[in-house]
Amino acid sequence: MKAFIYLPALLLLGPLAFSQALLKPIINQKAKAMESKTISWRRDFHEHPELGNNEIRTAGIIAAHLRSLGIEVQEKVAKTGVVGILKGAKPGPVVALRADMDGLPVTERGDLPFKSTVTTEYNGQKTGIMHACGHDSHMAILMSVAEILASEKANLAGTVKFIFQPAEEGVYGARGEKIVSGAELMVQEGVLENPKVDAIFGLHIMAEAATGTIQYRPGATMAAVDELDIQVKGKQAHGAYPWQGIDPIVISSQIILGLQTIVSRNVNLPEDPAIVTVGAIHSGIRYNIIPESASMIGTIRTFGTEQRKLVHQRITDIATNIAKSGGAVADVHIGTGYPATINDVNLVDKMLPSLIELNGRDKVFLKPAHTGAEDFSFFQEKIPGFFFFLGGRPLDKLNVPVASHHTPDFQIDESGFQLGVKALSHLVVDYFEQAMPVAKKSKK
């Protein structure tokens, strides 16, 4: 019967006088009541993961759920994405909420009863598929938010656009081919239009952050990510006669060391961090042959537009000039990936009190800049966005290291999902509340 204790207060208010803030106690009750449902969805998605742009089963479940709530549904957006549009009974702004859908080519370890056993072939290798970054929880949380807000449609003063996005982890092509992400393609296909979105919110669960906490950062929050690909061409020779050749392995080693001076000598680290990492180097076939060529690939992380340009230029300068000094030629290619995830400062200032009121000042933390990357940034390039982090540290690992994201042992605690449902829902109704003319708000 508790679900009805707020009903008289709602009925006493006229249709134009209803304060959106009065929905928050109702949201909290409903989030608690459907916690087991949220967890059940997450476990089903976890057991049946799908890679980027192949989230067919996943998308079908989401679309069917949204339709069952009376929400307008668009399918096959950016290949496999799903968009739901919930129009409140009262006019107001348009707020978007986003969850990513794809799993990763990771073979899961552990003994969870809902462990993934799905396999595929990826880059020519057989591998498992796993939700090793928490996207399963993001979808379950947003499905719950959709159910709660749809049940309060008659009291909503605005429109909510639920964006279930494919391929957040990116889809990689051949050398020189641009990285395509689900968010980028969704923006290109007009997901932020018809109706035009005023602001967008998203969250990411974090295995290392304490369950029951929220972390945030105004401004540059997550790094831009780019691909590094360097091909060094030397001259093949017998290993016993190195003076007859041009050794691409030695030159590549010098290039790798030289690249590290970008971060240590060219970047203003306190103000604008950067990372240049070589993740793989390949060359040669036999112990006594100096090969003709060597190749290396890696990742670049930056936070500012100018810094991004600087780092790219220094990589090219260092690689080509070191190669030239050794008589070789270096072909440098940098594939542009995701921009930096930059939280709109005004939107954060405006909406942070909503998270603090919900969870308490002692459980809402300012987070250092994160060198991971997120294609949520493509939405933020077009409209104000606020991306924050939800604690999901396993409760049995409070004082020991936890497996990081993108690893076979990654796990999260499900008791934090309820906070995520409340947080996204509260942000919506508080945003609507702040947009309402003063005369239309209930007087306290």
For 172, 245, 258, the CA distances from 291, given in Å and listed in that order, are: 28, 9, 21
For 189, the enclosing helix (H) or strand (E) is none
> Alpha-carbon distance 219 to 418, whole Å?
27
* Terminal alpha carbon distance of the chain: 26
Q: Are 424 and 354 in contact (CB under 8 A)?
A: no
What SS3 class is residue 380? helix
Residue positions annotated with a catalytic role: 102, 168
Angle between helices 35-47 and 135-151 (to 10 degrees): 140
State the Cα–Cα distance between residues 317 and 47, nearest whole angstrom: 47
- Do 116 and 47 contact (CB within 8 A), yes or no? yes
What is the C-alpha to C-alpha distance for residues 137 and 35, in angstroms, rounded to an integer?
Answer: 12
Query: How many other C-beta atoms can be found within 10 angstroms of the C-beta atom of residue 122?
Result: 14
Angstrom distances, CA of residue 38 to CA of 17, 33, 44: 32, 10, 10
Q: How far, in Å, are 7, 280, 358, 367 from residue 285 at the CA level?
A: 75, 16, 60, 46
Residue 206: half-sphere exposure toward Cβ, Cα within 13 Å? 17
SS3 144: helix
